[in-house]
Amino acid sequence: MKRKIKQLNWKRNLITKKIKYFIFMKFLSFIFFFVKRRKEIINPDTVKKVLIIRNDCIGDMIVTTPFIRCLSNAGYKVYISSRKSSLDILDGNPYISDCFLYQDRKLNNLVDSIRTIRKHQFDLSIDARFHRRLDLKHLIFCCLIKTNILLSYNKSNIKAFNISLPYYKTNDHVTNQLKYYLDNLNIKHDLFNYDIYINPSQNQNVTDFINRYIYPNKFVVINPFGGSEYRCLSGSQLQGICDLFKKHYQDYKIVLIGEGKKFEKLSLLDTIKFKSETIMDVTPLIKRADLVISVDTSIVHIASAFSTKCISIYMEPLAPNLVNLKSIYSREYSDYKYLRQDLFLDGKYIKKYKPRLEFQINKDLWAPNNINGRQLVYDANSIESVEVQKLLESIKKYI
């Protein structure tokens, strides 16, 4: 009896959440109805000043660097808007005219970012985000940019975007989405390798580190921490990987990288911790490593930029347990939210052409663009749930 009451409560909560979210999205649609429609598209031949709007993370920016290079080589002045950590990865990049810091942690941060970007007029602004999920702050920022052309994927319902390109491929690599933009802009693209430029002082710091702790051995760099808890290695998994090298690959020194309190507390025998303040401090270490093992895509993409041998550990979430109704309802609500978001952003196209609204597949979207990269993909809701022995056997195949 108690179980039935619980199940009824879960179902009632699901229906209530759906109704509330439906009302919220209708309210947003009403607000965005008053967004000013951008003027008709000017002659593309007059476009000179281009803003790439990223406003997200390090890995996203790394895979965008060939896109930046192609635009610059085509004769455009390229400007970038993004968060500080991802702007750091552009240090020394010769294809960029200027960068704008995007912040949205607090409302006043977002307002300041909008004020700064509105001091400039662009001929073309490109929303380069890859996923279809709604980020309201980012969307408002895009709509308020002073630009003649505002280009994005899947935004047919948002009047501020005067070019909306449909893109609903689920298993395409992220670089293919950027190439699709270039194709529509009639810009040629051949090699799509990533660009990262190393600061001489940071390079010297790594040289000193290698001379002091590594030379003449080879070394493996292990990054055990991802951007979320479910993407991190467990303590036993990390210990198992380290023991694997100590027992079978003694010509390797083990270097651990990371940041924050978890990294500070990390203490494993016969390993070396490389302390860094920014991602750029780690970059020359990744370049010179004999092997990189990482759960974090930003490190995987840095390794790709230098064709460093890399083993990346990814996961694909499991389908809800059919016995667990709470889990099923949770997934159903999540799917409902993303459907309402798709309709809010691109309803005109969706209703007319009825594309398949499937989720992008993480392992395909963020696969290493690296001839020396190997991808380990596990069907799991967290990386730490993967059996240690199973993980070690997979890693051994590619060392």
> What is the DSSP-derived secondary structure letter of residue 93?
-
- Which is nearest to 130 in space by CA: 55, 49, 29, 225? 55
- Distance, CA of 125 to CA of 80 (rounded, Å): 10
CB 313 within 8 Å of CB 385? no
Per-residue confidence (pLDDT) for residue 236, from 0 to 100: 93
- Output b/e per residue, 140-169; b: 16+ Cβ within 10 A: bbbbbbebbbbbbbbbbbbbbbbbbbbbbb
- Distance, CA of 22 to CA of 340 (rounded, Å): 7
- Which is nearest to 219 in space by CA: 290, 300, 293, 306? 290
- Element housing 350 (H / E): helix 325-353
pLDDT in tens, the chain (399 residues): 677 777 788 888 889 999 999 999 999 999 999 998 887 776 777 899 999 999 999 999 999 999 999 999 999 999 999 999 999 999 999 999 999 999 999 999 999 999 999 999 999 999 999 878 899 999 999 999 999 999 999 999 999 999 999 999 988 999 999 999 999 999 999 889 999 999 999 999 999 999 999 999 999 999 998 888 888 999 999 999 999 999 999 999 999 998 878 888 888 889 999 989 888 999 999 999 999 999 999 999 999 999 999 999 998 887 776 667 778 888 899 999 999 999 999 999 999 999 999 888 888 888 899 999 999 999 988 999 999 999 999 999 998
Question: Which backbone phi and psi does 2 adopt, to 5 degrees?
Answer: -60, -40
Structure tokens at 47: 């476009």
Burial of 122 (0-12, 13-18, 19+ CB in 10 A): buried
Burial of 194 (0-12, 13-18, 19+ CB in 10 A): buried
Per-residue confidence (pLDDT) for residue 262, from 0 to 100: 81
Per-residue confidence (pLDDT) for residue 42, from 0 to 100: 65
Please provide the size of the chain in residues: 399
- Which domains are assigned to the chain? 44-184 (3.40.50.2000), 200-317+362-396 (3.40.50.2000)
- Output b/e per residue, 198-217; b: 16+ Cβ within 10 A: eeeebeebbeebbeeebeee
Place of tokens 């799991």: 380
Cα–Cα distance list, 257 to 49, 91, 291, 293 (Å):
38, 21, 13, 10
Cα–Cα distance list, 26 to 19, 51, 132, 227, 354 (Å):
11, 30, 18, 32, 21
> What is the DSSP-derived secondary structure letter of residue 74?
T
Interstrand relation of 49-53 and 122-127 (parallel, antiparallel or unpaired): parallel
